[in-house]
Chains A and B, each alone.
Chain A
Amino acid sequence: MIERMRWSSCVLAACAVLVAGCGNDTPTAPTETTETTVAEPTTQEAFAGTLPVGGVKFYSFTTAENGTINVTLTDVGGEYVPATVMISLALGQPSGTDCSQNQSVTTAAGTTAQITGTYAPDVYCVRVADIGNLFAPASFSVTVAYP
């Protein structure tokens, strides 16, 4: 009888160990690291035009490799338009009849990039829009630098 109890205990213990070992085989992400090169901007384009009151304008471009995109609103002006006026400046991707916004700022013109970011090679767009500050159409200049 005692021997039988021992056997039973052993079998139960073995089962417990095996069931515990039957845990989720959830795959884990590989630990190897892949280095992604971040290229510096090598191409610069100018996007200039006239922004109507309450209007939106955007400009599309294609980046060739993963790297930094810099967007600078360099100038806003025109009759009845103060040089310090704030407008919306955004970086995104063309979608429908507009440019979706991944990053956006409300900014006045300046000499340093108001938007900067690292992006994979693809088609992107810069977008300027009046946020209600314009009382007359404004001329604007944007430079975009990308790899």
Chain B
Amino acid sequence: MRRSLFLLVPLALVVACGDQIPTSPNEATTTSLSVVFEGRLEVGGSAFYSFTVQESGSLTATLSSVSLVGRYEALNLPLRIGVGVPRGESCTITQTAEVYPSLTRQFSAVLEPGIRCIAVTDTGLLPGAAIFSIRFVHS
């Protein structure tokens, strides 16, 4: 009987030596990007900002403010916002919209993984160089 017990110990160790198959982590991995893109826009000009999309998802953008350089008053003029891929000295736009400054999101697009860009362009209505602020989120 005691011998049987002695034999059971190695057997238990063999069982304990089971497969150590790694399991995938169960934590949710979300890659979200939130950026405030601010800059100066010349009359007839454009500006762009490049970023990396890790996973396919939607981008939403808000043109939150536009004002003339050196002035505090907000300009209620539309600017063209677009998303695309950096190319040459600018951003090659694949989707665009003309938007007025607002505190609600005005633009959305679905982006595939890769290096992408968001651009802002004067629609021809700027009376002088302006300071803009765009907040965009990709998730």
Binding site for B on A (CB under 8 A): 4, 7-8, 10-11, 14-15, 18-19, 21-22, 25, 27, 47, 49, 57-62, 93-97, 122-123, 125
Q: B20-51: contact bitstring with A at CB < 8 Å (1 yes, 0 no)? A: 10100000000000000101000000011111
User: Does B17 lie within 8 Å of A18, measured CB to CB?
Assistant: yes
Q: How far is the CA of A4 from the CA of B9 in the complex (A)?
A: 16
Total interface residues on B, CB under 8 Å, equals 29
| Contact surface of B with A, Cβ cutoff 8 Å | 2-3, 6-7, 9-10, 13-14, 16-17, 19-20, 22, 37, 39, 47-52, 85-89, 114-115, 117
Residues of B within 8 A of A8 (CB): 6
Q: How far is the CA of A61 from the CA of B17 in the complex (A)?
A: 54
A14, A27, A60: the one within 8 Å of B10 (CB): A14
CA of A60 to CA of B84 in the docked complex: distance in angstroms?
Answer: 12
CB–CB B87/A61 < 8 A: yes
Shortest Cβ distance from A63 into chain B, in angstroms?
A: 12
* Given A11-B10, A18-B10, A97-B49, also A62-B17 (CB < 8 A): no
Which residues of B are found within 8 Å of A57, using beta-carbon distances? 89
CB-defined contacts of A25 to chain B, threshold 8 Å? 19-20
Nearest-neighbour CB distance to chain A for B87, whole angstroms, equals: 5
In the complex formed, the residue of A with least CB distance to B14 is A18
Whether B114 pairs with A58 at a CB distance below 8 angstroms is no
| Chain B residues whose CB sits within 8 angstroms of the CB of A96 once the complex forms | 49-51
Residues in B whose Cβ lies below 8 Å from that of A62: 85, 87
* Chain A residue with Cβ nearest B117: A94
Find chain B residues with CB under 8 A from A7 CB. Answer: 3, 6
Task: Give the chain A neighbours of B19 by CB distance below 8 A.
Answer: 25
B10 touches A15 (CB 8 A): yes
* B9 A22 Cβ-Cβ under 8 A: no
Assembly CA distance A147 to B2 (angstroms): 75
- List, in ascending order, chain A residues with CB within 8 A of B16's CB: 22
